[in-house]
Amino acid sequence: MRRLLFRGIEPVPGNHLRLLQSGVEFFPALIAAIEAARVEIYLETYIFNVDPSAEAVRDALIRAARRGVRVQLLIDGVGSRELPANWLEAMEGAGVNVLVYRPLAGDGWRSNPKSLRRLHRKLAVIDARVAFAGGMNLIDDFEPVRFDVPRLDFSVEVRGPLLAGIHASVHRLWQLVALTQLYSRRHKSGIEPSWPTDGTVRAAFVTRDNFAHRRDIERAYLSALALAREEIILANAYFLPGHRFRKLLKKAATRGVQVELLVQGHSDHPFFQAASRALYRDLLATGVKIHEYQASELHAKVAVIDGHWATVGSSNIDPFSLLLAREANIVVDDGAFAQDLRQRLRRAIGQSIALEPADWQRRPWPHRMLSWLAYNGVRLMVGLAGAGRWI
């Protein structure tokens, strides 16, 4: 059955993976890898914020460029639109190559639904020897809203043959963006990668784009949900799945699988949270358990199924991630990794409020109406963006 969980995906054996939770674990690991770089660095991010954590990464990139490392930084035109000119000038002046994915033009991103097609993946590849993939932007755990607990998010440090696909992907996207923007300083990768194969973890690198991999991440989830037998724990910051995804969650709960969703309690997008809540009543009625995280901001996009299948990535379970944005997830077939993630999610569930089915059956009609309007507003935005049918 484990092989079927990877239907359509070919997992790669021989990897070392390390799960990193929140910036307190992620930023030191990323900066240490940048400081050790000798040949090249590829870094992709949706948000490059102005705060001490992001500044430490910026300074590490500048030092790397000054010692002769080729640094390729790709940022999103919406997510990083507030990155100040003096930061860009400092990096470019030191030799960091910076490209902006789909830069803003005209009246900006809110007036043009096509601008919803964003670079949302968060990837770093250093010397083709170590990679980082997950949900964490270059933003401090306590920005923009300060909680007592760091933002809940995850990334994976990857060493091993899985790097072949990750390295090829970041290089290919850099070349594509450089070509479309007539960027003159395009380069071939200057490194001959060689990866150790003595790791024990089987994993796959799964992307979503608007070309050959339009639904790969969604299909990976759907295959795993369909075959779940014991437990599904899914933590997602922006949870608004299509009909097929919801149907599989409900069918799993009906056949006795323990299905638990960890979603935002404190949302930075109240409109989107209202749309998500339109789905809760139906899910709760079929036995799906829903927990709203309260300790801090939830930004994770992860799942564990049957204690062995796990995924960590940038893709939300919503139409913007699954139908519009460029995303990247690591899908893992390993009991130790999955149990590590599961234990961390269990602790987070302990810091959450469990939603009661009876309360949602009696939810006041103004709240239901607000959720219905928000839900259909999201559907309208997806349609205007030309994403096709939201299933």
- pLDDT per residue over 295-327, tens digit each? 999 999 999 999 999 999 999 999 889 888 999
The Cα 79–Cα 83 span in angstroms is 9
Told to judge if 306 belongs to the known catalytic residues of this protein, a careful annotator would answer yes
CA angle 125, 104, 181 (to 5 degrees): 60
* Whole-Å CA distances, 328 to 14, 218, 259: 20, 11, 24
Mean pLDDT on 169-182: 92
Does position 8 have pLDDT exceeding 80, yes or no?
A: no
pLDDT score for 1: 44
Told to judge if 114 belongs to the known catalytic residues of this protein, a careful annotator would answer no
Which residue among 167, 171, 291, 301 is the active-site one?
301
Which residue among 51, 59, 127, 209 is the active-site one?
127
Residue 286 contacts residue 253 (beta carbons within 8 Å): yes
What are the phi and psi torsion angles at 90 (to 5°)? -65, -45
pLDDT score for 114: 63
Digit-coded pLDDT (tens) for 105-159: 755 545 566 677 899 999 999 999 999 999 999 999 999 888 999 999 999 999 9
269-288 burial, b if ≥16 CB within 10 A, otherwise e? eeebbbbbbbbbbebbebbb
* Lowest-confidence pick of 109-118, 266-275, 365-374: 109-118
Q: Which residue has the tokens 């994403």?
A: 387
Q: Which of 249, 253, 233, 238 is nearest to 342 (CA)?
A: 233
Residue 199 contacts residue 15 (beta carbons within 8 Å): yes
Told to judge if 308 belongs to the known catalytic residues of this protein, a careful annotator would answer no
Q: How confident is the model at residue 182 (pLDDT cuts 50, 70, 90)?
A: confident
Q: Which residue has the tokens 């939810």?
A: 363
Told to judge if 127 belongs to the known catalytic residues of this protein, a careful annotator would answer yes
Half-sphere exposure of 284 (CA within 13 A, CB side): 19
pLDDT score for 382: 75
pLDDT score for 113: 60
The Cα 275–Cα 312 span in angstroms is 24
Domain boundaries, the chain: 15-180, 203-384
Which residue among 167, 289, 291, 299 is the active-site one?
299
Told to judge if 107 belongs to the known catalytic residues of this protein, a careful annotator would answer no
pLDDT score for 109: 47
Told to judge if 289 belongs to the known catalytic residues of this protein, a careful annotator would answer no
pLDDT score for 76: 97
Structural fold of domain 15-180: Endonuclease; Chain A (3.30.870)
Digit-coded pLDDT (tens) for 46-99: 999 999 999 999 999 999 999 999 999 999 999 999 999 999 999 999 999 999
Which residue among 76, 120, 141, 171 is the active-site one?
120
Does position 45 have pLDDT exceeding 90, yes or no?
A: yes
Mean pLDDT on 360-386: 84
Task: Please report, rounded to a whole number, the percentage of residues in the chain having pLDDT higher than 70.
Answer: 92
Tokens of 24: 């307190």
Q: How confident is the model at residue 385 (pLDDT cuts 50, 70, 90)?
A: low
Q: How confident is the model at residue 212 (pLDDT cuts 50, 70, 90)?
A: confident
Q: Identify the residue with better confidence: 169 or 105.
A: 169
The Cα 6–Cα 340 span in angstroms is 20
Helix (H) or strand (E) holding 17: strand 12-21
pLDDT score for 237: 95
Mean pLDDT on 257-261: 98
Q: Which residue has the tokens 């870094």?
A: 43
CA angle 10, 13, 15 (to 5 degrees): 125
Task: Please report, rounded to a whole number, the percentage of residues in the chain having pLDDT higher than 90.
Answer: 78
Which residue among 140, 141, 306, 334 is the active-site one?
306
pLDDT score for 283: 97
The chain-wide mean pLDDT, for the chain, equals: 91
Alpha helices in the chain (DSSP H): 22-35, 52-66, 85-94, 163-180, 216-227, 243-254, 270-277, 280-285, 319-323, 335-349, 357-361, 365-384
pLDDT score for 108: 54
Which residue among 122, 167, 171, 308 is the active-site one?
122
Q: Which of 156, 174, 144, 132 is nearest to 53 (CA)?
A: 144
The Cα 114–Cα 75 span in angstroms is 18
Does position 2 have pLDDT exceeding 60, yes or no?
A: no
Local structure of 164: helix, strand or coil: helix
CATH of domain 203-384: 3.30.870.10
